Structure 1
Amino acid sequence: MKIKKVYNNNVILTENEQGQEMVVMGRGLAFGQQKGDVVHDDKVEKTFVLEDHAVSEKLAELLKDVPEKFLELSEQIISMAKQELGVKLDDYLYVALTDHLNFALHRHKQGLRLQNALSWEIRKYYRAEFDVALKALDIIREETGMELEEDEAASITLHLVNSQMSGEKLDSIVQVVTIVNDLLTIVKYHFGIELDEKSLNYERFVTHLRFFAWRLIRNERASYDTGDDFLFNQVKQQYRQAYECSRKMAAYVENTYEWTVSKDEMIYLTVHVHRVTSRATME
């Protein structure tokens, strides 16, 4: 392997036999070395593959100011997250999480705690990612001796979710969480009930609301909109209470985001609302 770029004395960029770029780390690995030199294999401690060249450039910029120990910490967390979640995570997570951990641990040393206003909602709507983020806090504690608050788990969760939505910004994730939370609140107040958050119907409903919220903020119209008046009127009559609730949800969306909810979307919302509330309202 030959060095393509030296980040600092301990981190370089090279590529494997398949032509994939790799970030390679090791104490003193790049000391006195430069582009084109052969990598000293005996000094290599960690390697990970990057599919996006632009990410390696951003990582290089970041490592000018951030110690590589935070990249090592990120690599441990990302490897664990991939295994636990069983999903592909965007390469940019190495940059975003390394930067976040550097900032978070620096704040912790200074005794500064920033509360995540959406911590409760994030924990509820992204349970799998939040559980992984809690394990990340364990890794951080084991590696640094610092005990970060659960609010930091919520922030790490957003990075994990964002990494699965390649190209999306964190503020978009936050906006989706806000929309879903507001719509669920409308359902709770309309029926005067607490929803069973452990039920399959609840999970389906939240999943539907998340996709609905993503389409809303991306300004994407549903491709399946048929304008089926017969089915719309049938659902409206059969599930009257759920339909009235869906009307309130549609009004919130239209007033807040200037987004007109289609008839097909009203059908889906009404059916989901009925399913998620039917058992509770019969009790």
Structure 2
Amino acid sequence: MKITKVLNNNVVITENDQKEELVVMGKGLAFQKKVGQSIDPSKVEKTFVLQNTGISEKLDQLLKHTSEKYLDIAYEILQYAQSKLPYKLDEYLYVALTDHISFAISRHNQGIRLKNALLYEIRKNYKQEYEIGLKAIDFIEEETKIRLDEDEAASIALHLVNSEISGENMETAILVTEMVNNILNIVKYTYQMELDEDSINYERFLTHLRYFSIRFIRKEKTEDTVDDFFVEQIRQKYVKAYQCTRKIATYLQSEFNWEISKDEEMYLTVHIHRVTYRQKNG
């Protein structure tokens, strides 16, 4: 392995046989080394592939202002997260999470505590990501002896959610979270009931709402495939669920200028009926 870029004494960029960029980490790995020189394999502790060529430049910029130990912690967290999540994590997380951990530790040392306004929604709507966030807090404590609070666990969870959308903008994940939460509130208000958040039906509904919202963020249009006869059948069979769907459609039109398709209306109606009817009737 030959060095293509030195990020610091312990982190370098190189290439594998497939010409993919690799971030290689190890204590003293690049001490007094230059581009073009070989790496001592015995000093390599961690390696991960970068398929996005822009990430190495961002890591380079980041490591000029923060310790690579935070990159090391981010690596451990992401390896753990990838083993638990059903979707592939975006490579930018190496940068985003390293930066987040560094900033969180800095704030903690200054006695600055930022509350996560979406803590409740994240804990409720993204349970798997939130559990990983809590585990991440353990990883951080093991390496730094600093215990961050659950607000930081929720923020880390939001990074994971954002990675599913494969974007670098945290505002995207926040928008999805708020949209999902507002739709859930419309359902609760319409039916005057709390939904059983531990039920399989609720999890299915939540999953549908997430992807429903993500399609909007990505501006993915859904073509109408259902015929009018089927639409009318659903409307008559699930009257209250359809009324609820129309309220959601009005909210989306008003807040986001998003006119949902008939297909999306039908899917929402069926999901709403299932999550409310089965809870009421067992």
Give the TM-score taking structure 1 as reference length.
0.94
After superposition, where does 1:1-283 map in structure 2 within 5 Å?
1-167=1-167, 169-223=169-223, 225-226=224-225, 228-282=227-281
Stretch moving more, 168-177 or 97-106: 168-177
Equivalent-residue separation in structure 2 for 1:168 and 1:280 (angstroms):
38
**Deviation at residue 47 of structure 1 after TM alignment:** 2.4
CA contact (8 A) 1:193 1:280 kept: no
Equivalent-residue separation in structure 1 for 2:168 and 2:70 (angstroms):
23
Equivalent-residue separation in structure 2 for 1:32 and 1:259 (angstroms):
57
Paired residue type of 1:98: T
**Deviation at residue 190 of structure 1 after TM alignment:** 0.9
Paired residue type of 2:82: K
Change (3 A) 1:281 1:93: same
- Tell me the secondary structure at the aligned position of residue 31 of structure 1: coil
C-alpha offsets along residues 221-274 of structure 1, whole Å, 9 cap, x if unaligned? 213x13522111111111111111111111111111111222222222111111
Give the TM-score taking structure 2 as reference length.
0.94
Stretch moving more, 254-263 or 18-27: 18-27
Paired residue type of 1:19: K
Paired residue type of 2:225: T
**Deviation at residue 46 of structure 1 after TM alignment:** 2.6
Change (3 A) 1:220 1:38: closer
- Tell me the secondary structure at the aligned position of residue 133 of structure 2: helix
CA contact (8 A) 1:190 1:245 kept: yes
C-alpha offsets along residues 155-191 of structure 1, whole Å, 9 cap, x if unaligned? 1111112223223632111111111100110111111
- Tell me the secondary structure at the aligned position of residue 48 of structure 1: strand
Q: Structure 1 runs of 4+ off > 6 angstroms?
A: none
Stretch moving more, 95-104 or 226-235: 226-235
Change (3 A) 1:183 1:86: closer
- Tell me the secondary structure at the aligned position of residue 135 of structure 2: helix
CA contact (8 A) 1:59 1:95 kept: yes
Equivalent-residue separation in structure 1 for 2:196 and 2:209 (angstroms):
16
CA contact (8 A) 2:13 2:21 kept: yes
- Tell me the secondary structure at the aligned position of residue 60 of structure 1: helix
**Deviation at residue 204 of structure 1 after TM alignment:** 1.5
Two-structure CA RMSD over aligned residues (Å): 1.7
Unaligned runs of 5+ in 1: none
Paired residue type of 2:271: H
Unaligned runs of 5+ in 2: none
Q: How many residues align?
A: 282
Paired residue type of 2:186: I
Change (3 A) 1:180 1:23: same
